Amino acid sequence: MNARTAKGTGKGAVAVAARPFHYRGRVLYCDGVSLAQLAEAHGTPLYVYSAKQIRYRFGLFQEAFAGREATVCYAVKANSSLAILRMLAEMGAGFDIVSGGELERVRLASKTALKRVVFSGAGKQEWEIDAALKAGILMFNVESEAELGLLATRAEALGVRARFALRVNPDVFAETHPYISTGLGSHKFGVEIGLARGIYRRTARSKWLDAAGVSVHIGSQIRAVEPFAAALARVAGLVGELREDGHKIRVVDAGGGLGIDYLDSPTEPKFDAARKVREYAAALAKAAERLGAVHLLVEPGRFVAAQAGGLMTRVIGVKQNGAKTFVITDAAMNDLIRPALYQAHHEILPVRRGRGASTKVDVVGPICESGDFFAHDRVMERVKAGDLLLLLDAGAYGMSQASNYNTRVRAAEVLVDEDEARLIRRRETLRDLMAAEIL
């Protein structure tokens, strides 16, 4: 097991705003860069990320777990930008992946980081397993006994031994959206914790499988730390039983899922990120006391990336339909699906602040779906065609869930580092969209 020990970065002592977006006079900035200038240079819709905020938030986890054997594995699915992955790899990040495509993204960002990759997901395909085995990843988080059989078969075919942790379902309830809850017996993920001991016993017969650890993940966007501690406490009991059976369990993957507050005011944030990470780490440490000598893995994604990013869009027009006022933007649900999919709340700010009255509006996109909206009955400053808006907290599960629905090209992405900005993904073209098709 060649995992990196978490080390304090000192970044927790640096004062960093809860969000990187702030007004200078009447114009909204990302750190030291004007959003109006970015829109002029790169067009809209445009994703804008703060490198400073991402480093800070990832550094909070490194600092909180310093002094113990731990690896902070960033969840690639939250935001899979190659530039962001490389930046995190340079900080010593591990990576939690859920597909062969995400494995390739890590390889392109940093070949040395492949040794710090954990492969999760309920439906790994043969080619994905082969690619991960050849890459020499840290561990597979296995979701079923059938998957273990496939892993053993592929490991034998390649002549390598596969390290794995069985993902157990602790049946711990976490208050979150049902689409992102994963820890109950009714979910597709993992195996019942009561069945795990027998599965580990049966795997002992295979010389191609190395039962290195136990994995657990109960969901996403969970604000309280108690469910994480409860899940890890149940895992600790299982680890004790497995060691009694002779298994050399040396890794426990506590998963990710620590949530953020999407409802904070951008000028008066109530959510203390540093304190929340400290509370999370303390809760896991207390629950892990029974585990003895283990290497702990944690997998933050949303917490690192969400508040570091925003989606900038331009108003196409304002439409009155009876008593309803619609602000129609050039961004749509294909660019940011969270409001339609999860009924998620994203604060919306004018890039150029005016002095006009506020009004109640629906903010919608141009896609041919009634579900194409960013906000219903939102009170906000009056806007007109051509004005720029920013949707906050879009750095996670924004671009990574974007699509080409209605044959719309995906947005460009810009990474701001202090007072400099660089394009990290160009806007797609219609030629890009048609390139794979055959007439």
Residues that are catalytic = 368
Longest dimension (CA), the chain: 73
Give the strand pairing for 139-142 and 295-298: unpaired
The distance from CA 240 to its chain's CA centroid, rounded to whole angstroms, is 31
**Tokens for 317?**
């027009």
**Tokens for 28?**
């909204």
Rounded Cα–Cα distance for residues 104 and 124 (Å): 15
Query: Which phi and psi angles does 86 have, rounded to 5°?
Result: -65, -40
**Tokens for 15?**
């004062």
Q: Do residues 252 and 228 make contact, with C-beta atoms less than 8 angstroms apart? A: no
Q: Do residues 189 and 122 make contact, with C-beta atoms less than 8 angstroms apart? A: yes
Rounded Cα–Cα distance for residues 169 and 195 (Å): 10
In 10 A of CB 225, how many CB atoms?
A: 19
List Cα–Cα distances, 68 to 42, 147, 288, in angstroms: 44, 31, 11
DSSP 222: B
The long-range contacts involving 185-194, CB below 8 angstroms and separated by at least 24 positions, are 188/122, 189/122, 189/143, 189/217, 190/143, 190/166, 190/215, 190/216, 190/217, 191/143, 191/144, 191/145, 191/166, 191/167, 192/168, 193/168, 193/169, 193/234, 193/235, 193/238
Give per-residue burial for 21-40: e unless 16+ CB within 10 Å, then b. beeeeeebbbbebbbbebbe
DSSP 183: -
Q: Is 311 left (phi over 0), alpha (psi -120 to 50) or beta?
A: beta
Q: Do residues 49 and 415 make contact, with C-beta atoms less than 8 angstroms apart? A: yes
Q: Do residues 326 and 309 make contact, with C-beta atoms less than 8 angstroms apart? A: no
Closest to 343 measured CA to CA, from 276, 263, 410 = 263
